[in-house]
Amino acid sequence: MHFEDGSPYTYFAPGPGEPPARSVGWLEEGHPFTIGRLPTGVLDRIAWRCAFATTHQTRGIHRCSLCPRDAYDAERECYLLVRGERPRLLGTREVWIPGPRGVIYAAPDLVVHYLVDHAYLPPPDFVEAALRLEDALPFGWSVAFLTRAEVKARW
């Protein structure tokens, strides 16, 4: 699913009281995106959101179309691993990050994978909004492709 960074968010209709949102990080094969280095602290804050503050649970799993086809197979999925916590399956939820002037940024939870594994560099306003978030994951988290059997065996 691809939406241009900064475009009006349209994946789900806004719920009662939800402000209008802007799309960020909806990457898809065949659509160019900016790559680069994130300022220190941004990734840990976005990872915290992906682990503990998601919204809009979906019924299916969206897989990364940027990864080589053999990264996923019939069994393997992308997980966010946080020390001391059960793995979080990525590709099933969204993270919403408040920005300046009442703007809300809506990103798929796979955004943490795009940042780590594909060097995705979100728009500056989104990066600035992420830096303002208070919560951040401490050292000791990662993104990994695991089978459900591996997840059950370890956790």
Q: Spell out the SS3 assignment of 38-63.
A: CCCCHHHHHHHHHHHCEECCCCCCCC
**Two tokens, residue 126:** 């989104």
Report the share of the chain in percent with pLDDT over 70.
Answer: 96
Query: So where are the chain's domains?
Result: 21-154
Rounded (10°) CA dihedral 8, 94, 41, 154: -160
Q: What is the pLDDT, as a whole number, of residue 127? A: 96
93 close to 154: Cβ distance less than 8 angstroms: no
Listed in sequence order, the residues at least 6 apart from 151 whose beta carbon sits closer than 8 Å to its beta carbon are: 79, 86, 87
Q: Cβ of 49: how many Cβ atoms within 10 Å?
A: 23
**Two tokens, residue 38:** 């994130």
Characterize the bridge pairing of strands 21-23 and 104-108: parallel
Residue 112 sits at φ, ψ, to 5 deg, of -65, -35
Q: What is the pLDDT of residues 66-123, one digit of tens each?
A: 998 776 666 788 999 998 888 999 999 999 999 988 889 999 999 999 999 999 999 9
pTM of the entire predicted model: 0.90
pLDDT band with cut points at 50, 70 and 90 for residue 149: confident
Tell me the CA end-to-end span of the chain in Å, nearest whole number. 31
Residue 24 sits at φ, ψ, to 5 deg, of -145, 135
pLDDT band with cut points at 50, 70 and 90 for residue 15: confident
pLDDT band with cut points at 50, 70 and 90 for residue 45: very high
Q: Is the pLDDT of residue 54 over 90?
A: yes
